[in-house]
Structure 1
C-alpha cells in the first residue's frame, strides 16, 4: 500500500519545530494547503452570501463548496451538512431541538464510553423534558461496548440513542451499524459522535445507520469548526430556536449568524489534502478519499503495532486500549508513577503525549482511573517510525528515572 509519509510530513510547517506529535486525538497539526486556503479566503473580497458582488459570490462558493466536500468525506448529502462552532455546540443545539419532541417518561440512551459532549447535552436536555436517561455500560477489562450493551437499555419509550463511533480515550470502535438497527427497531433516532472516528476511517453515514453524525475538521488536519451530517428529510421535521428574519431553509435554519468563511475554505482544503494521501489520482473525490483512507489505515496500523510491541517490553506500563476494533489511539498508565509527570518529561524531550481524561470522564472513571485518566498516545497521518522510536525511547528513559516525590 503506497503511502509516502516523508512527502506528507513536508507539508506540515509545525513539524519543523522538531516535536514528535502524538496529540492528534486532541487536534492535528495543519498542512500548508489548509493554511494557504484560509489566508486566500481572507485576502479576497468577502461579505454576506449572495450573487451580486464578488465578495458575496466568494462567500456563497465557500459555503456550497464546503458542504460538497464534507458530503464527499462523510458519504452524506450536501443539503444535510450543518456547520457550527464545534461538535459540542452542535450537540447542545440539537439536543435542545430534539427535546422539544420528548414527553415526560420518554427515554434517552447514552454510553459511558463517550466523550462528555455526547453525554451531558442529552442528560441535561432529558432533565428539561422530564425524560429518563438510561446508561449503556462497557466492559472495562476489554474496552468493548457491544450492541447487547445497548439493547439492554432500550425500550418502547426510547427516543434517542447517543453513541460514539470511536472512543477518543481508548480508541474502541463499537459496531455502530448493529446499534443503529436496534435503535431504529425501537423507533429511536441515533446520534453518532464521529469526532475521533472520522480521522481514521472513511465515513459512510448510510452504512453506519446514523440519523445524525458529528465531526470536527481540526481532528483531521482542518480548522476549528464543527460539522453535523443529517438526513435532509429528517432535518426538515425539526424546528430549532432561531432569529425571526433568518432563513427557515435546511440546512441553514440550524446555523446561527454568519458562517466562518475562512474556516470553510480550510475545511475544503483539508478534505482535498486527505483525498491526495492515497495512490489514486483519478475518479471522484469520494473514490480518491477511499483510496487514501485505505493507505492511511495501513500506515497507522503498522505504526500502532510498532508502539504496542515496544510497550510490551516496558513492564511498568499498562495499556487500556484493548478492544478488537479500535483506532490507533492508546491510553497508558504507569505503575507507581504519575502520567502528568511522564507527560512533562516527554515534552522536555520533544515528544507530545498529553495526560488526562480528555473529557471522556465517564469512561475514565469506569476504567478505574478516576478523573485523572492516563497518558494518551494517538497517531496522525504525519507520524513516522522515527516518531514512534523516539516515544518508546522516551518512555524507557522515564522509567529509569527516580520517581518524583
Structure 2
C-alpha cells in the first residue's frame, strides 16, 4: 500500500495552523472524524447504558463498539477491554487489586526504562503489602533493556513484571516477548505499558505474550482516556474494590462510575481513522495491521532523515540509540539547556518540548537528572518538510 501523508493530514484541522508538531508522544493532534464523533455523541439523545430505550441502546452500542475497536487495534478480546480516565489511573487501580493477592516476601519487577506510570503504582502497591521491589536496569550507553537484564532480578517469588513496550523518553523497544517468556517461566504475570508503542507500530497481545496491556487513545489520534486489555479469564479472577450496586460482570467490575460515552465514541473513530489508511478490503483488524505497518515505515524513514540531519549539527547528543526503537529522539546540547532550545523552536512555530516526560528513572539512569532533554517525536502526520524545518531551526541556533 502507498502512504499518502498529505491526504492523511487533510483530516486534521489543527495542522492548517502551520505549526510543526514534534510533541506527539505527549498527545497527538486530533482528526476531524474523532471530534465529530465526540460532538455527535454528546448532542444525541443518550442515557445510561441499557437496552430498553433508544437512548439507553445508543450508550450501550457506543461502549460495545469501543471495546471491539480497541480489541481490533491490540489483538485483544473485547470482553477483556476496560476503560478508565487514564492509563495511570487504570494501572493504580489494578496494582491495588493485584497487591491484595500478594504477601510479604513476594516480589515485583519494574524497570528504569519505564514511564513512572508503570513504576510508581507497582512500587507503592508492593510497599503497602510488604512485597519486595526488584529493579531491572537498562544500558545507558545503548539504551537497550534485554531479557537477561530482567531475568537477573527474577525469582520464584516474582508475582509481576511491569515492562514498557516502548520508552516514551528515548524510544527503545525492548524484546517484550522474550522478557515475557522468562517472566512466565517463574510464574509471574506480565503487564505491558503500550502507551508509546501503540502509536507507532502494530500491536498484538498474543505475540507480545502480555497478560495485561495498557494504552492511551489520545496518543494515537483519539480523546483523553485510558484502556486496559487482558484475558477475560484473568479479570474474572480479580476482585477490585467497587460500589455494592455496580455490576460485578467483567470488564464492568473494573470501571468505576459511568463511562464517558462521548470519549469512547471518539476512541472508535480514532481506530477507524487509522484503519482507513489501508485499502478497504478485509476486516478492521487486518486493515489496522497493514495501516500501522505503513505508519511505522513512514515514520522510520523520517527518523532516518532527521537523525542524518542532526548528526551534521555541532554539539548535539542523541540518547536514542537502541536497535529497535520508535521515531522518538531525546537530545541534549553542549553549552545550552534543552529548555532554551525548546523555547527557540517554539518561536519558529515548532513544538518540541523539553522534560523528563515522567520517565524520571530513565532520565536519571542516563545521567540527565530530572531535567531530561529535548524530545523530537514523529507522528503519522509528520512530513519531510517538518523534519527539514526542525533541522534548519536547530542549525540556526547552534554555533
Structure 1 residue aligned with 2:332? 333
Per-residue CA shift, 1:300-328, capped at 9, x if unaligned?
01100000000110121000000000000
Cα distance in structure 2, aligned partners of 1:28 and 1:369? 26
Task: Measure how far apart 1:341 and its partner are.
Answer: 0.5
Q: How does 1:5-404 map to 2 (within 5 A)?
A: 5-278=5-278, 280-400=279-399
Task: Measure how far apart 1:6 and its partner are.
Answer: 0.5
Cα distance in structure 2, aligned partners of 1:281 and 1:394? 39
Residues 314 and 398, structure 2, Cα contact 8 Å, conserved in 1: no
Q: Once superposed, which parts of structure 1, at least 4 consecutive aligned residues long, lie more than 4 Å away?
A: none
Q: Which runs of 5+ in 1 are unaligned?
A: 401-405
Larger deviation, residues 46-55 vs 326-335 = 46-55
Cα distance in structure 2, aligned partners of 1:74 and 1:350? 34
Task: Measure how far apart 1:293 and its partner are.
Answer: 1.1
Per-residue CA shift, 1:133-171, capped at 9, x if unaligned?
000000000000000000000000100000101000000
Cα distance in structure 2, aligned partners of 1:52 and 1:281? 34
Normalising by structure 2, what TM-score? 0.99
Cα distance in structure 2, aligned partners of 1:291 and 1:146? 28
Normalising by structure 1, what TM-score? 0.98
Per-residue CA shift, 1:340-363, capped at 9, x if unaligned?
010010001000000000000000
Cα distance in structure 2, aligned partners of 1:165 and 1:298? 18
In structure 2, the residue corresponding to 1:331 is in which secondary structure? Answer: strand
CA-atom RMSD in angstroms: 0.6
Cα distance in structure 1, aligned partners of 2:50 and 2:16? 40
In structure 2, the residue corresponding to 1:337 is in which secondary structure? Answer: coil
Cα distance in structure 1, aligned partners of 2:311 and 2:341? 18
Cα distance in structure 1, aligned partners of 2:183 and 2:340? 43
Cα distance in structure 1, aligned partners of 2:104 and 2:303? 46
Cα distance in structure 2, aligned partners of 1:353 and 1:12? 19
In structure 2, the residue corresponding to 1:82 is in which secondary structure? Answer: strand
In structure 2, the residue corresponding to 1:198 is in which secondary structure? Answer: coil
Task: Measure how far apart 1:55 and its partner are.
Answer: 1.2
Task: Measure how far apart 1:338 and its partner are.
Answer: 0.7
Q: Which runs of 5+ in 2 are unaligned?
A: none
